[in-house]
Amino acid sequence: MALATWQPFEWIVASRFLREGRLQTLFIMAGVAIGVAVIVFMSALLQGLQANFVRRVLTAQPHIQLLPPKETVRVLHEPDQAVHATLIQAPLQRLKSIDQWQAVLGMLRSMPEVKVAAPTVSGSALLLRGDTSRSLSVQGVELEQYDRIVSLSEKIVRGRARLGATDILIGIELASDLGVGIGDKLSVRAASGAVNLFEISGILDLGNKGANQRAGYIALHSAQSLLGFVGGVTSIEVTVQDIYAAERIAQRITAATGVQADSWIKTNAQFFSAVQSQQTANTAIRFFVGLSVAFGIASVLVVSVVQRSKEIGILRAMGISRGQVMRVFLLQGGVLGFGGAALGCLIGAAALMLWLAYARNPDGTAMFSVSLEPPLFVAALALATLTGLLAALAPALRAARLDPVVAIRG
């Protein structure tokens, strides 16, 4: 009894109207539930798919890579010279060190947007074992820092991630081609003719056959000596806090240092365009589902106003204000939206779990991970409730404007 006396008048009337039109209430809540279930299911699925794609792209590359600026040709001639060269040939782009790279590295590590910055030395070499030779893409790294960018320790299939002065990590395909294993010795010859002997400390699976056939990781100082970059580095690899802000941060770095900074967004332009298309499609789905929900709620409440015009007229004649009448119908819209959304969240979560249980790779593993995050459900509930209130606004205004005498006479 205490609860009944505490309830506001508008809520009592709104709940009575909803109970009297049970069939209409159930149908519109079912419609809202289906719409919200679609939003929850598609949003979670697309977010998981997008996160999986991004993770696969960034698993073997940094978010931003700093490189020395490219060499260009400057045409020099006297102001009054009449004859000019008609053909200018671009110079050969030589591998060179980043100028004052220690200062650049210090600046990067001081930026709050940057998580990790690691210097690297890369170049081509020839890997020799007996009479067999293979081309090798040498990457000299500081393992502790580089492992936070590209997790080599997680890609080890044999041995361990260790890079001493004479250690080397190679791809699994390259190891198979050469018939070598952990502890075997390999000679690596650079283009300059320098030759160093390395011992295999670990074998990697980089997730790409081409990379597994040619990749080799050695210590930074060993690569500097072998490739002729004593004291220098050919690139600085960077990861940032917000991966989608990588291009903006790269442009800031270029402006501040003059070093060429290429973000993953720039180097994977087609992939990033596909990611943006997915986001646009998800937004479009939400919009049209929300629009259909709004029209459904509005149509039910318009019918409710027509059916209950006499009751509204009697209430108005009894002294109920226009504002109270409006709140009655706004409450109905909010209840329909929230109730349908709560049911829709449960249906969407169940459908997603069912899909994850049956959509599997041939080996039985999940295609990709999908997380049911609370913000998604909160957003769906808030969106549906707000849509219900907005959809109820027009019928509520119409009900509030009814003349009591005309409404009672019918």
> What confidence tens digit (pLDDT) does each residue in 337-356 have?
888 888 988 998 888 888 87
Distances in Å between the Cα of 340 and the Cα atoms of 25, 86, 176, 279, 302 are 10, 73, 59, 25, 19
CA-based nearest residue to 182, from 206, 165, 199, 161: 199
Q: How far apart are CA 221 and CA 378, in angstroms?
A: 52
DSSP 245: G
CA-based nearest residue to 120, from 219, 10, 228: 219
- What is residue 212's three-state secondary structure? helix
Residue 400 and residue 295 share a domain: yes
pTM: 0.66
Q: How many residues does the chain have?
A: 410
pLDDT at 81: 54
Kindly state whether residue 82 falls inside one of the protein's structural domains.
no
On the question of pLDDT at 3 being above 60, the answer is no
* Mean pLDDT over each residue of the chain, to the nearest integer: 80
With bands split at pLDDT 50, 70 and 90, how would you rate the model's confidence at 20? confident
In the chain, the number of structural domains is: 2
What is the residue type of 13?
A: V
Q: How far apart are CA 67 and CA 161, in angstroms?
A: 26
Average pLDDT estimate for 285-294: 78
Residue 247 and residue 120 share a domain: yes
Kindly state whether residue 91 falls inside one of the protein's structural domains.
no
Average pLDDT estimate for 66-91: 58
With bands split at pLDDT 50, 70 and 90, how would you rate the model's confidence at 78? low
Kindly state whether residue 65 falls inside one of the protein's structural domains.
no
Residue 288 and residue 242 share a domain: no
Name, in order, each residue with C-beta under 8 angstroms of 256's C-beta and a sequence gap of 6 or more: 107
Average pLDDT estimate for 296-310: 73
Average pLDDT estimate for 48-59: 74
With bands split at pLDDT 50, 70 and 90, how would you rate the model's confidence at 370? confident
Residue 239 and residue 204 share a domain: yes
Q: How far apart are CA 140 and CA 300, in angstroms?
A: 69
